[in-house]
Chain A
Amino acid sequence: MKRFTFASAAIASAIALPIVLQAARPHYGGTLRIEMPGVIRTFDPVASSVDAAESAARARVLPLVFETLVAADASGGLRPQLATSWEGDRAGQRWRFRIRDAVTLHDGSRLQPAQVAAALRARGRAWKVGVDSDVVVIDPDRAQPDFPWEMADARNAIAIRTATGDLVGSGPFRLEPTEPRRIALGAHEDYWGSRPFVDAVQIAEGRALGDALASLELGRADFVPVRPLDLRRLVQRGLRSVGSRPLETFVLVFEPHRATPSDQLVRRVVATAIDRATLSTVLLQRQSEAAAALLPPWLSGYAPMFQSVSPLSGSAPARTAVASLPPERRALTLRVDAADPLAQAIAERIAVDVREAGITIKVQAPAGLAPRPDVRLLRLTFDATTPDRVLAAIVGTLGARVTSLATNEPAPGAGAPLDAVYRMERALVERDVIVPVVHLPALYGLGERVESWGGPAVWPSGAWNLANMWLRSEPLAEKPEKPHGPDR
């Protein structure tokens, strides 16, 4: 009997193994279907975005078409892209980028260093851009030791304008004729990094996250952005998720009338009463990190130094002090974006935590006009780049009106030293006018037939690795036995 069983198992394994191998081997072909909330109005990398959703969409889609000279890698450093190598002088005032040979543009022509220089000059920056053989030489307007990070910015992607006025790139996908609210990308057959596995990518724009998730569940989409709240739902349906490193920070920002010294106690209690650990662990399904600073630890490296700033956290003296305040001083109106369910969920949890500390928070998610709030919950989104650039972007997003309530120190510019960034960030959060809550990654749900080869579907920097994604001809026969978190 045992011999029979063993023989049967061996035969079955002999039959199943080729099938499994066949299934695991990347396939060319197919159309990858993506749905996302943003709507891209123009593909010119230089153009500005109308709103945050378009900005996020452009940050992910444009690099598929237009490549930068360098790009952020999985470890937080830079990797070659159109430039195979780069070097700068000691002062960081002149940088030389050696352009990759044999890069074919989407119109079939070869990318020339002169075209790269012309494209960079067209950015309108005060850079001096020259060409030396296969090297593009750039003299920034000031000394920038980390200038290559500037070149990794998607806004500095190389887009070549043809004689007809069209923009062509060198990325793994080329732009196909588009329809309203639908982007069509075709595989770039001559891509220098090898042809993408899929033949085409169709991106449905302007899709609500809930609708996109439903499309993923119904097999109508292969790759959609998801919220941490949706991860369990994906798991229950046997779908996988993938995420970046934290690229967003939720912060509370007090309005000027509650940013006064007399409200310091209330702000302090609010800042310390938030149970960030439970918020991250439970509500955000372990996909987030408790935030004590504006920049996530993986970007700044100094975040642990902010952990000790909670002397009044949940303490009885603080509660007693708060209880002695007039009721109107203990009541806050927290405004969140009505179109952001995740922000609303976080706000509700903050309200529960703060309520335990004796402060009442009324969450307000107005669709139109509403009474003046006391505090806002903002979602700060940034790119995977250097701390100085991230902080500069955050300060830019918050605006001078908010930052001036927190500190009078000038915001450090790009290339500022890390200690200056630290001091500035410390100053921003010190008065609790700006209260970091959690850092969140960009999360995506993957369809049943989606596989990736040579790396995750989404890089830690948040970039889409669509060139390495391939599609199974048949979905997996079995669901995963055990829920698991997103691939990193």
Chain B
Amino acid sequence: MTLRTRLFALVSAAVTVTVVLVTSAVSSSARRAFAALDAQRTAALVAQFRREFEIDGEQIAAGIERLASSDAVLHTAGDLARSRAARAAYVNEATSLAAAQGLDILDLVTDEGTIVSSAQWPARFGYRHSWATAAAAAAGAFLQPVELPGETALGLVAVRKVAAGDGGLFVAGGRRLDRSFLQTLAPPAGTRALLYLNLEPAGSGHQLIDASGRVAQAAPLAPLIARVRESGREASDAIDWPEGSETVTAIPLKGRDGSVLGALLVGSSGRELAALVSRIRWSGVTFGALGLASGFLLSYIVAARVTRPVEQLAESSRTVARGDWDAALDAVPRVHASGEIEELARAFETMTRQLVDQRERLIQTERVAAWRELARRLAHELKNPLFPLRVTIDNLRRAKTLASAEFDEVFDESLTTMTSGLQNLNTVIGRFSDFARMPPPQFAAVSPNDIARESVRLFRAQLDAPGRPAIALTVDLDESLGTVRADAEQLGRAMQNLLLNAIDAMPSGGELAIRTRRAAGAVRIDVSDTGEGLTDEERQRLFTPYYTTKQHGTGLGLAIVQSVVADHGGKIWVDSERGRGATFHIEIPETQG
């Protein structure tokens, strides 16, 4: 996992955790706030109902009072007191009076308790009124079951007596507590008001209404209603509906005698709250997702910004590792960073510069050493032939005193020796000259097998020479090999150097193997011997020019081989252990197509 990935993951995780925590906290806080608001709302609605109820009661009492003192009712009361027969004329009087006063319920009742006119049940004239005379003493409005055609309703009513003659007329009327009454409450959104009418002996769901009519699903509310009916006190319950929970507060509605005639149920729907919380949650999720996306993007940018200099430094390190010191030094100043990364970049740059300087010094040292080695080698190589020459010259100088015949003999011998010495000098100089002027390769398509065979052929005679320790030659050539792009002469010389090197490594005989193989787009030539092998140090310095383990080697053979292989875009290496021989591997890219 890269630094950038780790950094990105870390920052993203931090952002995610932060967003989730914030969203949860906001959601939880909102839920609590809404729950508190909901409780306040329910309390406000309950208070509103109480106020409405009181105001309605006062208005009804005032309305009945006004009606009782109106000319129409006084006139009616007077007529009725004068003549019983006049009742027929006023049979519809209550209907018009109720309409004028906006009352749902209005009865005109004689002091005997007989209904003269009824607005809510016009056909009931002539029958006894069940509560007007008994309730005449009540001061204000009160709740009262009111009989209607086919049903019994709950009314908020008041009664006033109009005196006329020896008797009087009771005016009993008010408003019906029904869905229109609930509609006047206008509960805020998310709340509702229901009215339970306790006008039947047993609790019945049919008597539960809301602003739109009868409530179909009344069963869940039955326990709460029953509790209020029995206790006569306000109670609350959380009701679970399929759509969600609802907090319902039931307020008992009592009649003149204190009996519970009904109950107002104020419901505050949890659905609204749940919807709000859900909306907030989803908003949180949405904004959280946006935050996460922004966080991911930001973390990516931050990670990229933070890691880019590190990556550049890493790349520079790899460049340094590849040996491209100058490129690495050029790249380091392009690393844009600050703080610790900048310090790291500067340190890296400093380190790289020091490495470059040290490398330069090392090269210089190596160069000096090489020159010294060259000089030593030259001195050594030249010293060997020169010594016989100097001895020969001394012999000649001493022979000058000899007789002519002896001098001539010495002179001839000296001449032969000097000629041989000069030839040796010439050979040494030629080798150095050859190494110095390695010509550029002349590429052509050549068969590695052919080069191997030609090289073996050149050494066949040497290997088969009598008296020489036996060296078994094994030639294993892959005939399916194609051609390589190479300079046949240089490659052949390299091959011959390796063969010569192998033969030299086995002065007591052994096995020599030449093998060709295809290896990943290249042709591989292996030359193995069973000589003494190489130490690690020898192996590391083997291709260094003028380095040799032979007593009379120039140290240029393997250097020339490496130079040729490098010029052909290939590579050379050696596997060897001390005492187990050595195998030189050459890989030359195979010609494509």
Which A residues are closer than 8 A to B by beta carbons? Answer: 229, 232, 235, 275, 278, 281-283, 285-286, 345, 348-349, 351-352, 356, 362-363, 483
Q: Tell me which of B89, B121, B123, B127 contacts A285 (CB under 8 A).
A: B89
Assuming the contacts A362-B150, A363-B149, asked whether A352 and B123 have C-beta atoms less than 8 A apart, the reply is yes
Given contacts A232-B90, A345-B123, 17 further A-B contacts (CB under 8 A): A229-B92, A235-B89, A275-B126, A278-B125, A278-B126, A282-B87, A283-B91, A285-B88, A345-B122, A348-B121, A348-B122, A348-B149, A349-B123, A351-B123, A351-B149, A352-B127, A356-B127
B88, B90, B149: the one within 8 Å of A286 (CB) = B88
Contacts of B150 in A (CB 8 A): 362
User: Smallest distance from the beta carbon of A80 to chain B beta carbons, Å?
Assistant: 40
* Chain B CB within 10 Å, residue with most, of A235, A352, A362, A483: A352
Known: A362-B150, A363-B149. A281 touches B88 (CB 8 A): yes
Set of chain B residues within 8 Å of A282, measured between Cβ atoms = 87-88, 91, 125-126
- In whole Å, how far is A340's beta carbon from the nearest beta carbon of chain B? 15
Q: How many A-B residue pairs have C-beta atoms within 8 angstroms? Tell me.
A: 39
- CB of B127 to closest CB in A, whole Å: 7
Q: Within 8 Å CB of A285, what residues of B?
A: 88-89, 91
Nearest CB of B to A347, in Å:
8
Residues of B within 8 A of A232 (CB): 89-90, 92
Q: How far is the CA of A34 from the CA of B91 in the complex (A)?
A: 28
A residues less than 8 Å from B122 (CB atoms): 345, 348
Whether A283 pairs with B89 at a CB distance below 8 angstroms is: no
Tell me whether B129 is interfacial, beta carbon within 8 Å: no
Chain B residues within 8 Å of A348, by CB: 121-123, 149
Q: Report the Cα distance A282→B426, complex, angstroms.
A: 164
- In B137-184, the 8 Å CB interface with A consists of 149-150
- Say yes or no for B124: interface residue by CB 8 A criterion: yes
Nearest B residue to A362 via CB reads B150
Nearest-CB residue, chain B, relative to A232:
B89
CB<8 Å pairs between A and B, sample of 26: A229-B92, A232-B90, A232-B92, A235-B89, A278-B126, A282-B87, A282-B88, A282-B91, A282-B125, A283-B91, A283-B123, A285-B88, A285-B89, A286-B88, A345-B123, A348-B123, A348-B149, A351-B149, A352-B121, A352-B123, A352-B124, A352-B127, A352-B149, A356-B127, A363-B149, A483-B89
Q: Which of A278, A282, A362, A363 has the most CB of B within 10 A?
A: A282
Q: In the complex, which residues of chain A have a beta carbon less than 8 angstroms from the beta carbon of B127?
A: 352, 356
Scoring B residues 112 to 127 as 1 if CB is less than 8 Å from chain A, else 0, what string do you get? 0000000001111111
Cα–Cα, bound, A278→B122 (Å)? 13
Q: How far is the CA of A283 from the CA of B122 in the complex (A)?
A: 9
Least Cβ–Cβ distance between A140 and chain B, in angstroms: 47
Tell me which residues across on chain B come within 8 A of A275, comparing CB atoms. 126
Flag B86-101 by CB within 8 Å of A: 1 or 0 each.
Answer: 0111111000000000
Residues of chain B within 8 A (CB-CB) of A229 are 92
Whole-angstrom distance between the Cβ of A223 and the nearest chain B Cβ: 23
Q: How far is the CB of B26 from chain A (nearest CB, A)?
A: 57
Task: State in angstroms the CA–CA spacing of A483 and B150 once bound together.
Answer: 35
Interface centre among A283, A362, A363 (most CB of B within 10 A): A283
Across the A-B interface, give the 10 residue pairs with the lowest CB-CB distance, nearest first.
Answer: A348-B123, A349-B123, A282-B88, A352-B123, A282-B91, A278-B126, A352-B124, A281-B88, A282-B125, A232-B89
Nearest A residue to B118, CB-CB: A352
